[in-house]
Structure formats: structure tokens, C-alpha cells
Structure 1
Amino acid sequence: MSYAGKNLKYLRKLRGWTQEEFAARLDIKRSLLGAYEEERAEPRLEVLEIVSDIFKVSLDDLFRKDLGDTKGSYIAKRRAQKMAAMATEIQFVPVKAAAGYLAGYADPEFIDELNTFTLPMLAPGHYRAFEIMGDSMLPTPSGSIIVGEKVENLDDVKTSNTYIVISRQEGIVYKRVMKNPRQKNKVTLVSDNPTYQPYTVDSNDIVELWQAQMVITRANMQQRWDVNQLASIVSNLQEQVSSLKKKLN
């Protein structure tokens, strides 16, 4: 009995990749990967060799061992933990790469060229980091790095949470996302700095969403507020909330 197909699915999920993303790395069609994972077809040797290189697993283990079975030996459990840790590898998109990212976000070769880092405190998943500039999300300072987890479907967005939103018209922005039940084809993007007005984006224009999990800033960069600034912000925020309530009603 071969465990190859079952192991492909297990390893893919450890990295937090979709079938499309994994298929691109293996240079095969997504439908073929689906056939392998569902054990309707036996993976070709050249495909398994690529998998072996990515996950540092022997071909013999891919064929003959159920890698998802961690109920056995201590070594098997440690191997699963190490593989899962790889899921925290994070590609970094600096501001200077933002324009290129809009054209290459779906190109595995472009993504592979981005610098990467890891954060051991993150759970396994699909993460990416983006550098933000400007003061629209103060007190998060300009130059901060937002580490986001991939959101596959707009329906999974939690209203008022912060996201990196990538759209064809607006590019890469860091905002709070508000959903309107009456306008399912649009979302409202809100800045934490109330001097910036909220604006709407067509959901069909959004190509990627990354829910913010961590904010990385340089030492001594944290924005300081004085009393007058805070009073002005509270006043502007109250006006915006009232305006949004009127629109929603």
C-alpha cells in the first residue's frame, strides 16, 4: 500500500498551502494534485522528488509511511512538530516591492524571490508580512511591518478587525474592514487615524486579504499623542461613527 497521495495532502496542510499554491510549486495542474490527494491517481516519481526536497523527507517515507500518524514513536511526533514549524515561514513585501507584488502575487516564482523570516510564536498557517507607510493607521507608526494570515473568502472577514487589503485600484493598504449586509458587493475601509475618511471598495476588486496577527515596529518609533490631538481624534471619530450609522440605516 502506498501512502504517497495521503502524505501529499498532509504535508500541504502543514504548510497552510491551498491546492493551487502547492500545485504551482510542483509544476502540475491543481486538478492533478486533487487526484493524487484523493488517491485516484498515483503521484509521479518526479513530483515526489520535489516534495522530498521541500519537506526533507525521504522517498521511502513518502511511499511507505503515514506521516500524519503521530500516535506512534517520539521521533514521529518530533518530525511532525518540525514540519509544522515550517508553516511559519513568512515572505516579506517591503514598500519598494509593492508595485511588483500587485503584478506577481499569484506567481510562485515572484513569491519565492521575496525575503523570508520566521516567528516561532505563530501557529501553523499561511502568513505574509507587509511594510506600511503613512500615518493613516496611527498610533501604528509608518514603517511598521504587519504580519497577516491569509483569508481565503471575504465571508470569513470579521468586521472592524484590521487587514492588509490588496486591490487592483487601491494597491496594498492596511485598514479596518467593515461589511455592510445590505451591500455584499462592497466593503468599507476605515483608518485608525480619524482624520482620514472611510471609503468603500468593490469586493470584486479585492485580490487578497491578510488578517493582521502581529505588528512589528522599530524601537522608539511609537507615536506619541498630546491631549489636544486626542480630543480632536475623539471628536472626528464620533462624527465618522454617526455618518456610518446613517449610511448603514
Structure 2
Amino acid sequence: MFLSKNLKYLRERNNRQTQENLADALGITRSAVSSYEDGRAEPKLVVMNRIAQYFNITLDQLLNVDLSRMREEDIARQREVSKYASAHNLRILTITVDKENNENVELVPEKARAGYTTGYSDPNYLSNLPKYQLPFLPQGKTYRAFEITGDSMLPLLPNTIVIGEYVTNWTDLRDGQTCIVVSKNEGIVLKKVYNRIKDRATLLLKSTNIQYRPYEIPAEEVLEIWKFSAYISRELPEEVHSYHELREAFDRLEEEVQELKTFTKAKA
């Protein structure tokens, strides 16, 4: 962790504030500030939160990012992206309901995909989408269905309808989780998602079809994320064991290459 280094850096950057002044502002003793900066002690979580709020950074930045190596604008950008991803600044989800006030599952068919990135929060746009009640889905959650195109997520075939559960806090996503990602520039895609928000303010998106390269998108371009819940298809996907074994091996290789790139950049 970078707690001790960051605390001293932030204090001295703040008009070369003294340990005593900072202690008074945080409601702790000067000796406590000194022990935190020297790494002789660690503050309780409530004090860590107080420090992060005082310096207008996230708790993750305080603990896990070497702030002395970042520009002020980069710190601010990462802070805002982290808040956006965790829904600290509320993202309002527009829904429709039936006559009994039950949430509908709206279907976004292929012909409506192009307008979804601008109409996703427009009640008039959503009211014109097909709507369904799907009793087999767990209750108390919000769902939306999307008709997928292309063959990037085999064994799911083109025109399969994928049902997603709305994700409020994107930082809760597990790496490798299959999701429908709606973004400003990429539109609607079904991919395996890897969270890179803390490190690079991005999401890494991977296909199951190895013919498609993984790519990153800035987190601030993402509009919605829907976690895969179920799918409806007119055709039964075939399970090809050799294909899945190759996919797993390829995923491991990609992870190793990514780690090597990150390590090389860190040493540069």
C-alpha cells in the first residue's frame, strides 16, 4: 500500500501543511499523523475515509496509487471515473411497468440497437420497445433483453436474445464476467468484462471467439452494464470441448502478456 507515502506527499503538497495542522483538521493527534507517515501504524478505516475526503481523493487512490507519480489532472480524472463507476454520482435508470406495476423486461431488437445509446433513458423510446414478463427470472431485480449480432461470443449464435441484470456498481463485477456493455462509441456489445478502472480508468472487453482481439474502452464512455442472466435462442448451441480448452489456454496467454506489459511499463 502507498498510504504512508501518499499521506506525507498530500500534506506537503497542501501548502506544506504541518503534521499538527493536519492532525487538527482530521481530529487526531500529531503523533498519530507521524506514525502513519512513517509506516509505524495504520489508521482505522474511519480515519482513512476522513483522510481521503479531506484531500478530495478516493480511498482506493489513497491506499493503492502512488500519487506522487501522477499529474493533478490524472488524479482528478481517476477520482471522477471511480465515483461514476461505483454509482457515487447516481445514474438514473429508466424502466417501464405493466398494469400491476411490475417491472417489464424490455427487448432491444437488432433494428432498435442504433437508437438505444441515445434513447436508453428516454421513456418515450422505451415505451415503443417490446415488453415481456419473464417469471423464471429471480424477483426484485431489473432486467433488459438484447438481440445480439455477429459471432464474437460463440457458442451463442447471431440473433440470440440475451437477458441481462442491471449492474449499479461496476466495481462489483468479477473479472471474466459476461455482460452486455452499452457505450457511447461501441454501442451494444456482449463481452467478457475485466475491470481496469482502478489502474487505467478502462474496461477490458474480450470475446470468446479467438478471432476477435480484446480491446479497452474508457469507463467514462460506458452508459450501462447488464450482467448476463439467461438467453433465448431458436437454435441449440453446440458444446465443443476442444474449442473451450483452446479458449481457456488463449485467455491464460492473454493475461500473461497483459501482466508483462504492465510490469514493463512500471519499470520504464
TM-score of Structure 1 vs Structure 2, range by shorter chain: 0.5 to 0.7
Instruction: Report the count of equivalent residues.
Output: 173
Show CA shifts across 1:63-119 (max 9, x none).
Answer: xxxxxxxxxxxxxxxxxxxx6xx23x2000011100111110110111111001121
Q: Residues 194 and 237 of structure 1 are in contact (CA less than 8 Å); yes or no, is this contact kept in structure 2?
A: no
Q: 2:199 aligns with which of 183, 205, 209?
A: 183
Distance of 2:196 and 2:117 partners within structure 1 = 26
2:157 maps to amino acid: P
Q: Which residue of 2 aligns with 1:160?
A: 176
Q: Residues 195 and 236 of structure 1 are in contact (CA less than 8 Å); yes or no, is this contact kept in structure 2?
A: no
Q: Which residue of 1 aligns with 2:167?
A: 151
Please list every run of 5 or more consecutive structure 2 residues that lacks an aligned counterpart in the other structure.
1-89, 264-268
Q: Which residue of 2 aligns with 1:242?
A: 256
Q: Which residue of 1 aligns with 2:114?
A: 99
Percent of pairs identical after alignment?
31
Please list every run of 5 or more consecutive structure 1 residues that lacks an aligned counterpart in the other structure.
1-17, 26-52, 57-82
Distance of 1:181 and 1:100 partners within structure 2 = 27
Q: Go from structure 1 to structure 2 and tell me whether the alpha carbon gap of 1:245 and 1:95 turns closer, same or farther (over 3 Å shift).
A: same
3-state secondary structure, aligned to 2:216: strand
Q: Residues 197 and 219 of structure 2 are in contact (CA less than 8 Å); yes or no, is this contact kept in structure 1?
A: no
Post-superposition offset of 1:245: 2.9
Q: 2:128 aligns with which of 113, 116, 124?
A: 113
Q: Residues 171 and 195 of structure 2 are in contact (CA less than 8 Å); yes or no, is this contact kept in structure 1?
A: no
1:108 maps to amino acid: P
Show CA shifts across 1:133-153 (max 9, x none).
Answer: 111111112211110111123
Q: Go from structure 1 to structure 2 and tell me whether the alpha carbon gap of 1:141 and 1:248 turns closer, same or farther (over 3 Å shift).
A: farther
Distance of 2:118 and 2:245 partners within structure 1 = 42
Distance of 1:20 and 1:137 partners within structure 2 = 29
Post-superposition offset of 1:248: 4.6
Within a 5 Å distance, the mapping from 1:24-173 to structure 2 comes to 56=100, 86-87=102-103, 89-122=104-137, 123-173=139-189
Q: Go from structure 1 to structure 2 and tell me whether the alpha carbon gap of 1:109 and 1:223 turns closer, same or farther (over 3 Å shift).
A: same
Post-superposition offset of 1:181: 6.2
Show CA shifts across 1:159-205 (max 9, x none).
Answer: 21111000111110000110136525111001111221110010000
Distance of 1:204 and 1:158 partners within structure 2 = 19
For the aligned residues, what is the CA RMSD? Answer: 2.8
1:204 maps to amino acid: E
Show CA shifts across 1:13-61 (max 9, x none).
Answer: xxxxx99557x98xxxxxxxxxxxxxxxxxxxxxxxxxxx9665xxxxx
Distance of 1:223 and 1:54 partners within structure 2 = 36
1:143 maps to amino acid: N
Give TM-score scaled by structure 2 length.
0.57
Distance of 1:156 and 1:231 partners within structure 2 = 27
Is the aligned partner of 1:197 residue 2:218?
no
Q: Go from structure 1 to structure 2 and tell me whether the alpha carbon gap of 1:161 and 1:55 turns closer, same or farther (over 3 Å shift).
A: same
Q: Go from structure 1 to structure 2 and tell me whether the alpha carbon gap of 1:165 and 1:207 turns closer, same or farther (over 3 Å shift).
A: same
Give TM-score scaled by structure 1 length.
0.61
Post-superposition offset of 1:246: 2.1
Q: Which residue of 2 aligns with 1:8?
A: none
Q: Which residue of 1 aligns with 2:8?
A: none
3-state secondary structure, aligned to 1:201: strand
Distance of 2:232 and 2:197 partners within structure 1 = 33
Distance of 1:244 and 1:19 partners within structure 2 = 31
